[in-house]
Amino acid sequence: MFDAACENPHYGRDIVRLLAKRSLREISVTEERLEAAAGHPRHSYELIRALLDQVPDFPISENIVRAAASTSNGSRAISYLLERRGETLPITQSILERAARCSSLATVKILLKERGQHLSINEAVLEAAVGNEDHGGEILDAKLPEWGQQIPLTERIILATVLDKTRSNTDCLEMLLKFYTDFPITPAVVQNAAANEYWSTDLIELLAKKNREATTEYTKAIANPFIILLIIHLSKNSRYHIRGPTSTD
């Protein structure tokens, strides 16, 4: 029944409470079971605690911590594991990247507070954050002023932003546009922004506002005719101008 609780995204905690009223001693604690508990989308803390109460000295592996860092509410579970294991709890670069991609600002802050001196803020971390569907905006809003001083903006990071199909992508793109003065708007960036079936209009408009000049090289990269019409419309506005190829004569 405990395994069923780990697989239940809504009522796992309630099932564990029912089990606790009887006895959890019959439940064997294994690496796989702890990892499943840590990865519960809503109640990882309660499930992990229920298991570790039975075997307090059970070794906590990197996979268990990574599973906790993969959930939106992972901060509470990781804080609990840190209380129990302290400096011996394995927190690696890949766990930080997983938290930036899948968890909340609170989780990222805890990891950096506890192991910041051993972790790198690099392109992979920023790329993960802009691809975070639920919390990318809040992570960038809080950390970009600091991270942006260390991480140059690359096409890879921008592509991760425009490929995201949630509303968070426009928020993240707008923050990147405001922070970085050197913003590589390449044909690949425009093409993928235009291919975003949900937010193509918003993304292209943000890119056009940043670039101020959209060359015909960019419009050739766009497959969606509506987006071409949008760029033409923007070019008629006094703030934008689509420049044709320069004559070599």
**What are the domain boundaries of the chain?**
1-119, 153-249
Name the phi and psi angles at 58, rounded to 5. -65, 130
Q: Which of 216, 190, 218 is nearest to 204 (CA)?
A: 190
Which pLDDT belongs to residue 212? 58
Q: How many CB atoms sit inside 10 A of residue 62's CB?
A: 13
Which pLDDT belongs to residue 102? 95
Which pLDDT belongs to residue 9? 58
Question: pTM for the whole thing?
Answer: 0.79
Q: Are 168 and 137 in contact (CB under 8 A)?
A: yes
Burial call 168-196: b when 16+ CB within 10 Å, e when fewer: bbbbbbbbbbeebeebebeeebbbbbbeb
**Number of C-alpha atoms within 13 angstroms, CB side, residue 80?**
23
Q: Tokens 């509470």 — which residue?
A: 76
Residue 225 pLDDT exceeds 80: no
CB within 8 Å of 28: residues ≥ 6 apart: none
Which residues are registered as beta bridge partners of 213?
241
Q: How do residues 94-134 score in pLDDT, each as one tens digit?
A: 999 999 999 999 999 999 999 999 999 999 999 999 999 89
Q: How do residues 50-82 score in pLDDT, each as one tens digit?
A: 889 888 999 999 999 999 999 998 999 999 999
Higher pLDDT pick, 169 / 176: 176
Q: What separation, in Å, do the N-terminal and C-terminal C-alpha atoms of the chain show?
A: 79
Mean pLDDT of the chain: 81
Which pLDDT belongs to residue 5? 59
Which of 45-54, 139-148, 199-208: highest mean pLDDT? 139-148
Q: What is the CA radius of gyration of the chain?
A: 23
Which residues are registered as beta bridge partners of 243?
215
Which pLDDT belongs to residue 47? 87
